[in-house]
Amino acid sequence: MRRRQFLKMSCVLGAGVALCGLGVDLVPIEAWADEIKKIDRLKTARQTMSVCCYCSVGCGLICATDEKTGKIINIEGDPEHPVSEGSLCAKGAGIFQTTEANEHRLTKVLYRAPNSDKWEEKNWDWAIDRIARLMKEERDKSFITKNAAGQVVNRVETLAHMGSSNLDNEECWSITAWARSLGLVYIDHQARV
Amino acid sequence: MADGKSILVDVSRCTGCRGCQVACKQWNGLPGTKTKQTGTYQNPPDFSHQTFKVVRFEDGRTKDGKTYWHFFSDMCRHCMNPPCLAGAQGDEMIHDDATGAVVYTEGTSKSDFEMSLSVCPYNIPRQDPDTKVMRKCTMCFDRITSGLTPACVLSCPTGAMVFGERDAMLAEAKRRVDILKKTWPKAQALNADDVRVIFIVTDDPLKYHKYAAGV
Amino acid sequence: MTNHWIDIQHSDCILIQGSNAAENHPISFKWVMRAKERGAKLIHVDPRFTRTSSKADFYAPLRSGTDIAFLGGMIKYIIDNNKIFHDYVVNYTNAPFLVDGKFGFKDGLFSGYDADKRGYDKSTWTYQKDAGGIILRDETLKNPRCVYQLLKAHYARYDLKKVSSITGTPEKDLKTVYEMFSSTGTKDRAGTVMYALGQTHHTVGVQNIRALAIVQLLLGNIGVCGGGVNALRGEPNVQGSTDHALLYHYLPGYLSAPRASQQTLESYIKKITPATTEAKSVNWQSNYGKYAVSLLKSWYGDAATKDNEFGYAWVPKAEDGKDYSVMTLFDVMYAGKIRGMTVFGQNPACSIPNSNKVRAAFAKLDWMVHLNIFDNETASFWKGPGMDPAKVKTEVFLLPASASVEKAGSQTNSGRWIQWRYEATKAPGDCIYAGEAIIRIQNKLKELYQKEGGTFPDPILNMTSDGLAEKGGYDAEKVAKLINGYFLADVEIGGKQYKKGDCVPSFALLQADGSTSSGNWICAGSFAQDGKNLMQRRGKADPTGLGLYPEWSFAWPVNRRVLYNRASCDPSGKPYNPKRAVLEWKDGKWVGDVPDGAPPPLAAEGGKLPFIMKPDGVSSLFGPGLGDGPFPEHYEPLESPLAKNLMSTQQNNPAILLYNSDKDMVASADARFPIVMTTYSSTEHWCTGAFTRWQTWLTEAMPQAYVEMSEELAKEKGIKNGDKVRVESARGKLECVAMVTPRFRPFLVNGKTLHQVGMPYNYGWRFPEGNGDSANLLTPTVGDANAMTPEYKAFMVNVVKV
């Protein structure tokens, strides 16, 4: 066995050069080369702050977006965050698997027709048109202007909304505003759960 | 000599949150393997060429009937004198002068894996069945040589894992064991002189894992 | 939380009850361990020995559903052993108030119960007043009708023997917990309570928390550094989503939702603004009219005028006294009365009780719009187990959403810190923000109503566009500013000038005359007057040294980090504990955290009481505002192992709502289901697993559903660790892996051995294959009398080897 001074990563860019210089026929296999690449890509990546999407501690995240591909290549804790100080539990540490890197991410609008056994791909315009149409039809049909006691109530009881505590404040507020503007009373979400 | 780096793993503070287990996967781009629920929180059951960090769970009752649950965030000890280097055929296993990290390169496809595994007191080295490359914890060598902490240490919420200069870690280990002994007389740092990754336990090492204190 | 995460480190004794913080809020344990390093003791009370218990200095087991018995015993202990923080109790609680002579309690029921209505006439739950309407008091706390004596009498019944018999907690363990925690009743020691869904998920959920609050008030632990009643909220932004009222029963900022009987804005404002005769009470809720009008202005902009009551008629009015919460929603849907549903970022097919009922209910919808980042059991309900797609007519839209790291916007943690996040990258494919999706739907509806007319288009057409981007899409920062609020005209208030369009820097400046708009008054101040987004701040200054970090993000309200903090000082404004002073009255002003109420301390000139959100300015030991009683009382869960409640003949909470669809079977004290069951989560999975079951690093760690049971129960049933078993309730069944563990022990309840088991609800049939299905197939459709939080945590099952 031989001890050897391992050269600084930045010098090893270009894979294998310095190591080969020591007489070892080193073929940089994908994973190893990726490992070198990752730390170097990290050094030139755009760092963005985010907040963990799981429990309510609200741990700080640093997302590294590769300057060449525009994709997120690393997500880890933010050591500057006063509550989390860089820490993350299993879920937070794994947030990378909620990104595009996860092949299961929904990326297309899907539609299931009545009685169908499968999803079909649609586009947003089609979906929004249809959804708004369905909402309007039901609201127009079932709107209750006055209750049995003759009081003005201006509500709809055949439409319901749920969710979400997984959305940002501004989205939650927008949904509340929308739901009320339609006259919904069946409104709920995870806060009760 | 008290040079290079060390990691302290103080199980008395560990809550088994598995941030470290997942952070290792995330940093190293390792896949999540297919596992089964066999009646334990521990999964995967052991190290593999795709799992460098395993949090081990052991629950039980003491002689006085008190329940306990031990968490042992197992990893390569990065020995001061790594026996696994005996399996090296050339320079493919790196024992870094500056940090003391023991790093297997792709060249370990030519190493004597069986030899390295058999001499490792902690049962650490694993081999990719396809490429024959040997795999284990790298002490996040790429991170620590770039001024970052190892991914597992960064994720740890309770200070169960700490990274730093070896003499500082040895001093911290002693400080913690002295305090812990007041509540747990069996508290000890395991093989602190022989390893860079120093585990502090509060109970009989075998209660955590067969190889917790080495064979 | 009344306090915040970092504050936990300052506690001398941490009681975690109804929470498994180490597993479900793991990073909170950073601060728990720091407290321990300083000598704090950690107590964990839980049916099961968990990762939290492993770090506790003392662990006490208790049967699921018996927290009030446990805490009632603690209240008795504190009073009997004179552990109360006397000055605090006399000055800052309603302990001295004299209660109406007609108020009473007998055999499990308070005065005024109507069995037909399943509710209370609360007119006797009131105070004795003098001719001027001022509440009568006895500062010596000796008058038998004073709250303190009534409290004492009520909990005199919760002696150690009785409590142990109900909870299954050994008497010596009860005593140890009571001793340890009540040691924080002194000036120099602070105790904190960390609780979560282990308290709320019961038919007595709100009263569970009331019991915790009573304990903390008796010990003087509210408003102090290292103290508090700290709810560890369960979702990343459930604090924010609650603040912004994705709930039927109130509007943004906790303004009660208007009901049919409030036909005018004036009658509505009258209802939501309490009056008080207490001269020293700030009674901040008296300002609610300003916030209601400002909210209406944020929704309807210029269309909201004084002449049309600011659009009040456009706000839907729910029926008085009727429930529209989630279990009722699904009950009504199951009865075929809901035609269309939008479900954003939630998985009710696995998260709402009685999954068989919920999943069948979905099939009755004409259409469902689901939005998420992955597919799940809700969006795909039509192809779930037992479903024949050919027979399900529901149109389903599955909209692809941006994930959290692909979005800019704010998120509020449990400590009320509103933190801003940024887009690390654009979302893949056709994904858009959930906010963008709802705006597109809203814009389309507006267009349709403009073109075609229709029923009552006014609220839709008049919805403001102020929050929209220039091209009409979703703009997070613009919405955030709308939420914060604006001045709608130049104005001078208190000698300061504000221009039209300036952000409102504090809700104290909001008006009831339509000159201000604010989407949520509690968020006012999240932007500075000049438009700077304070939620984006990353300042690390810590002037008090207590870890308040006033320049990191923005905490509502008005960046106050510890609520009720004026109660941490004596009536002269001197901190009870100068070593951990979150606030101090010095040279005529408050120094430290943002004071909870600007007025001087009680004893100073112009001084006010510290609980500014309570009409009478003091905190409530006697709490007449709730629907099931002014004092918490132990009732058995709907499904109980006991045929008879040991505390009274009132078996269950007398004010809970009961459902009776053909899927709402209940089996209490039933030999078929003799085992108590609870449900929970795990560190590695998130709620129903709708996000996390698609992630291999997490499914690797926790691959399949399991039920945790004691070695003793397993032996009785012939079950070995790792065996396949079936868990059954009156409502459903599922198969999973048996986890036989010493961390569960049988209880001795009412002299008999009682077993309890537990399951996480992290699994669902959709993915990955073979992982299991939801524990909610087993849970009952019943919830808390006040909040309708479902009783997920205590019901009855049987377990058999498969």
CB atoms within 10 A of CB A133: 13
Residue in chain C closest to A156 (alpha carbons) equals C316
Spell out which residues of chain C touch residue B71, defining contact as CB-CB under 8 Å. Answer: 51, 54
- Nearest CB among C26, C49, C723 relative to B157 is that of C26
Q: How do residues C688-708 score in pLDDT, each as one tens digit?
A: 999 999 999 999 999 999 999
Mean pLDDT of C785-790: 97
- CA C307 – CA A104 distance, rounded (Å): 53
Spell out which residues of chain C touch residue A116, defining contact as CB-CB under 8 Å. Answer: 389
**Whose CA is closest to B53, among B61, B43, B62?**
B43
At residue B133, the pLDDT reads 98
Q: How do residues C584-620 score in pLDDT, each as one tens digit?
A: 999 999 999 999 999 999 999 999 999 999 999 999 9
Any idea what the Cα angle at residue C424 is, between residues C423 and C427, rounded to 5°?
Answer: 75
Which chains have at least 3 CB atom pairs separated by less than 8 Å from chain C?
Answer: A, B
Q: How do residues B115-163 score in pLDDT, each as one tens digit?
A: 999 999 999 999 999 999 999 999 999 999 999 999 999 999 999 999 9
Mean pLDDT of C385-411: 98
> What average pLDDT is seen over chain C?
97
- What is the residue-level pLDDT of chain B in tens, covering all 215 positions? 448 999 999 999 999 999 999 999 999 999 999 999 999 999 999 999 999 999 999 999 999 999 999 999 999 999 999 999 999 999 999 999 999 999 999 999 999 999 999 999 999 999 999 999 999 999 999 999 999 999 999 999 999 999 999 999 999 999 999 999 999 999 999 999 999 999 999 999 999 999 999 98
DSSP state of B109: G
Contact B160, C29 (CB under 8 A): no
Q: Which residue in this structure is represented by tokens 């609520």?
A: C563
Any CB–CB contact under 8 A between C372 and chain A? yes
* Chain-chain contact of A89 with B105 (C-beta, under 8 angstroms): no
**Whose CA is closest to B117, among B94, B160, B86, B161?**
B86
At residue A34, the pLDDT reads 52
Any CB–CB contact under 8 A between B63 and chain C? no
- CA C454 – CA C471 distance, rounded (Å): 26
- Report helix, strand or coil for A35: helix
Six token digits for residue C279: 């001269």
* Chain-chain contact of B157 with A87 (C-beta, under 8 angstroms): yes
At residue A193, the pLDDT reads 86
Q: Whole-prediction pTM value? A: 0.95
C367-372/C340-344 β-pairing: parallel
- Report helix, strand or coil for B100: coil
Amino acid at C318: A
* Chain-chain contact of C722 with B71 (C-beta, under 8 angstroms): no
- Helices assigned H by DSSP within C301-376: 326-334, 348-351, 355-362
Residue A29, min C-alpha distance to chain C (Å): 23
C413: which strand partners?
none
Q: φ, ψ for residue A82 (rounded to 5)?
A: -65, -25
Six token digits for residue B21: 């287990």
**Whose CA is closest to C9, among A33, A122, B158?**
B158
C104 HSE (CA, 13 A, CB side): 6
At residue B131, the pLDDT reads 97
Contact C43, C16 (CB under 8 A): yes
Q: Which residue in this structure is represented by tokens 């749920």?
A: A162
Q: Which residue in this structure is represented by tokens 């008058």?
A: C143
Cα–Cα distances in angstroms (integers) from residue C12 to residues B13, C169, C213, C583, in the given order: 18, 24, 18, 19
Q: Residues 6 or more apart from C316 whose CB is under 8 A from it?
A: A153, A154, A155, A156, A180, A183, A184, A185
**Whose CA is closest to C801, among C718, C739, C693?**
C718
Q: φ, ψ for residue C590 (rounded to 5)?
A: -85, 135
- Report helix, strand or coil for C385: coil
**Euclidean distance between the first and the last CA atom of chain A, given in angstroms as a whole number:** 60
Q: Residues 6 or more apart from C790 whose CB is under 8 A from it?
A: A192, A193, C201, C326, C327, C352, C353, C779, C780, C781, C782, C783
At residue A24, the pLDDT reads 33
- CA C221 – CA C190 distance, rounded (Å): 6
Checking phi first, is residue C746 left (phi over 0); if not, alpha (psi -120 to 50) or beta? beta
At residue A4, the pLDDT reads 25
DSSP state of C146: B
At residue C584, the pLDDT reads 98
- CA B47 – CA B55 distance, rounded (Å): 10
B164: which strand partners?
B6
Chain C window 544-563: which residues touch A at a Cβ cutoff of 8 Å?
547, 549, 552
- CA C744 – CA C676 distance, rounded (Å): 12
**Whose CA is closest to C438, among A168, A153, A186, A157?**
A168
Torsion of CA C259, C264, C269, C274, to 10 degrees: -70
pLDDT over 60 at C575, yes or no: yes
Determine which helix (DSSP H) or strand (DSSP E) holds C458, and give its type and residue range: helix C458-461
Q: How do residues C260-283 score in pLDDT, each as one tens digit?
A: 999 999 999 999 999 999 999 999
Residue in chain C closest to B22 (alpha carbons) equals C697
Q: Residues 6 or more apart from C646 whose CB is under 8 A from it?
A: C162, C165, C166, C750
**Whose CA is closest to B35, among B17, B16, B19, B54?**
B54
Any CB–CB contact under 8 A between C16 and chain B? no
Q: How do residues C290-346 score in pLDDT, each as one tens digit?
A: 999 999 999 999 999 999 999 999 999 999 999 999 999 999 999 999 999 999 999
Spell out which residues of chain B touch residue A27, defining contact as CB-CB under 8 Å. Answer: 106
Any idea what the Cα angle at residue C63 is, between residues C722 and C104, rounded to 5°?
Answer: 160
- CA C262 – CA C266 distance, rounded (Å): 8
* Chain-chain contact of A83 with C27 (C-beta, under 8 angstroms): yes
Any idea what the Cα angle at residue C787 is, between residues C232 and C198, rounded to 5°?
Answer: 40
Contact C405, A63 (CB under 8 A): yes
* Chain-chain contact of C54 with B25 (C-beta, under 8 angstroms): no
Mean pLDDT of C85-111: 98
Spell out which residues of chain B touch residue C740, defining contact as CB-CB under 8 Å. Answer: 39
Any idea what the Cα angle at residue C323 is, between residues C322 and C327, rounded to 5°?
Answer: 155
- Report helix, strand or coil for C470: coil
- CA B198 – CA B77 distance, rounded (Å): 7
How far does Cα B86 stand from its chain's mean position? 20
How far does Cα C365 stand from its chain's mean position? 29
Chosen for mutation from B11, B20, B37 (greatest number of chain C CBs closer than 10 Å) is: B37
C675-680/C795-801 β-pairing: antiparallel
Chosen for mutation from A24, A30, A38, A39 (greatest number of chain B CBs closer than 10 Å) is: A39
pLDDT over 70 at C288, yes or no: yes
Helix axes C67-80, C171-182, angle to 10 degrees: 60
Mean pLDDT of C759-769: 98
CB atoms within 10 A of CB A142: 17
Output the 3-class SS for C708-729. Answer: EEEHHHHHHHCCCCCCEEEEEC
- The shares of helix, strand and coil residues in chain A, as percent rounded to the nearest 5, are 35, 25, 40
A60-65/C229-231 β-pairing: unpaired
Q: What is the CA radius of gyration of chain B?
A: 17
- What is the residue-level pLDDT of chain A in tens, covering all 193 positions? 222 222 222 223 333 333 333 333 333 334 444 545 799 999 999 999 999 999 999 999 999 999 989 999 999 999 999 999 999 999 999 999 999 999 999 999 999 999 999 999 999 999 999 999 999 999 999 999 999 999 999 999 999 999 999 999 999 999 999 999 999 999 999 998 8
How far does Cα C595 stand from its chain's mean position? 24
DSSP letters spanning C185-207:
GSTT--EEEEE-HHHHSSTTHHH
* Chain-chain contact of C49 with B39 (C-beta, under 8 angstroms): no
